[in-house]
Structure 1
């Protein structure tokens, strides 16, 4: 028969409870700090599709700077530049309380953003979607052969998206499947549209296989929740994205 000393030593039992309580408090404090960091300063995101090829491949992981219209200058959507990679949030069907948000962030982080236990989304929607910011408020733009031509507010000439962008990027437009009907899916041509005061036009770099502003229209600043800063995985391709 083995006798456990903790059954007879009150001081040891008290010390054990103190250690367990300390570990629980450290764990909760760590989760709260992570929640604050990921919500306000830096958020990890996993690329779940090939919509941003060729620049970003499926299963790459990025850090996103959270943005909102009412946040201080550095974190405001007013500081977005043409060519930035932005995060547009899918509409959630449910609202999470604080502890659910903490567990949501923790599980998502430990599973590399593959599991989101509490987030309920419309069928087929990923938790987040990344796009290239092409059109800014006041722009007049049209699309020809998958390339965007833009006339900025106050100017008289159209220039291509590449001439106006602050970022250097490529787009994928020539990887059509055999017998593909180009009239299907996201169109390669679009007549001129004028963006309103709070409207942004976002596209995927993979122009032939994407769901973007060509189909759902412009987005508003309140729908843009972040800006990609850098890719940290795969480790062989760490790079800045802004």
Structure 2
């Protein structure tokens, strides 16, 4: 009696093994290519908050580049940047090593965390650089007034920062006087070396320097340079 199972020849087994190896090599190559583009070319990011409205809306998808950091390109006032908030707790090393694989194989949908984080503790935020190291800055009614390093005259942010953008700010409740928390004012401070002042376009809505002060350069991950979705609002920055 003969078995109904087909006995594969050595040649067939070798060919099948070769195909598996080729698939593994292709997957490894694609993963390394993904890592190279994410680190040195551009990284995709989905906007989750309303803090940069009306320019960036929730569900907008953008690209930011880390190349500017690698090549020591200087930041400028008005630049849109992706930051890691200073209060964000970094994951354990093992988790950080595993997350690139998870993001790659789940198309950016899943990643692990070392902590049970509240909704507001997110790893990435998009903000606008308003003042540079050496500048002095104060906030009045949610608007920035900047004295450039080495100069004496104070300038409204709209008169100093390149590009057009719209500031949204909340209307304070009746009886909410100056000196109360979140009144939209801040006394003048001078930025030290490698310190930046970053703000949301929707002032008073987001975590930014108005809430936790100057931001060290080490927390700036890259510059936003392109919005690729939705297609009707595709644009470069």
Q: TM-score, normalised by structure 2?
A: 0.86
Q: Which residue of 1 aligns with 2:91?
A: 93
Q: Which residue of 1 aligns with 2:12?
A: 12
Distance in 2 of aligned mates of 1:43 and 1:103: 15
Aligned ranges 1:1-150 → 2 under 5 Å:
3=4, 5=6, 7-66=7-66, 71-72=70-71, 76=72, 78-89=73-84, 90-96=88-94, 100-107=98-105, 110-111=107-108, 114-118=109-113, 120=115, 122-123=117-118, 124-150=120-146
Q: Which runs of 5+ in 2 are unaligned?
A: none
Q: Which residue of 1 aligns with 2:188?
A: 192
Contact 1:32 1:102 in 2 (8 A): no
Distance in 1 of aligned mates of 2:15 and 2:146: 69
Distance in 1 of aligned mates of 2:199 and 2:31: 35
Instruction: Indicate the RMSD between aligned Cα atoms, in angstroms.
Output: 2.7
Q: Which residue of 2 aligns with 1:166?
A: 162
Residue 32 (structure 1) shift: 1.1
| Superimposed CA distance per residue, residues 82-118 of structure 1 (whole angstroms, 9 cap, x where no aligned partner) | 001111124413224785243144146x14xx43235
Q: TM-score, normalised by structure 1?
A: 0.84
Q: Which runs of 5+ in 1 are unaligned?
A: none
Q: Which residue of 2 aligns with 1:201?
A: 197
Q: 1:198 to 1:13 in 2, by over 3 A?
A: same
Partner SS for 2:62: strand
Distance in 2 of aligned mates of 1:26 and 1:180: 65
Count of equivalent residues: 231
Distance in 2 of aligned mates of 1:149 and 1:120: 39
Distance in 2 of aligned mates of 1:220 and 1:68: 16
Q: 1:27 to 1:166 in 2, by over 3 A?
A: same
Q: 1:35 to 1:118 in 2, by over 3 A?
A: farther
